[in-house]
Structure formats: C-alpha cells, structure tokens
Amino acid sequence: MKTYTWQQKLRAKIFSRARLDLHQPPGFKAPTYWYLGYCPIHSYFEDYLHGFEGKEYLICPSCRKIEKEGK
C-alpha cells in the first residue's frame, strides 16, 4: 500500500480529493491527474475525476465492485 502525507489525507477528507500526480495508464489517450479520495467505509483510494467540469467526482473501487456484484 502506498503511503500518503497527513496533508494529503486531510485534504481528501475535507475537500473529497487531493491531487497526487499526472500519469498515463495503459488504455488512456493522454496523461491524466490522479487523486486521493476517502471512502468512510473502505478508507483511502486513488482514482481519476469522472463527470463534467464543475460536477467532478471520484468513485471508490471497492464500493463499485460491491455494487456490480449485487446486480
């Protein structure tokens, strides 16, 4: 598991996200900013922004997995 600074963790809890770095995973057409998010059930996670400008959000991968298995 990666380690995060206390500032990043605090920002993720208060503002729902903290910017981590810019990288290009396989399958992505351009480099994308990745963020640290906080889920009250599953703790911290990394994700990129989803949604439209002004309405961006992060998705907890553990919650997404549970949702997919339940359907």
Q: What is the DSSP letter of 55?
A: S
pLDDT for 44: 95
List per-block mean pLDDT (blocks of 10 residues) for the chain, which spans 71 residues. 89 94 92 95 94 93 90 62
pLDDT digit string, tens, across residues 32-41: 999 999 999 9
Q: Cα-Cα-Cα-Cα dihedral of 28, 47, 64, 30, to 10°? A: -10
pLDDT for 46: 95
Q: Model's pTM, two decimal places?
A: 0.84
Burial status of residue 8 (CB atoms within 10 A of its CB: 0-12, 13-18, 19 or more)? middle
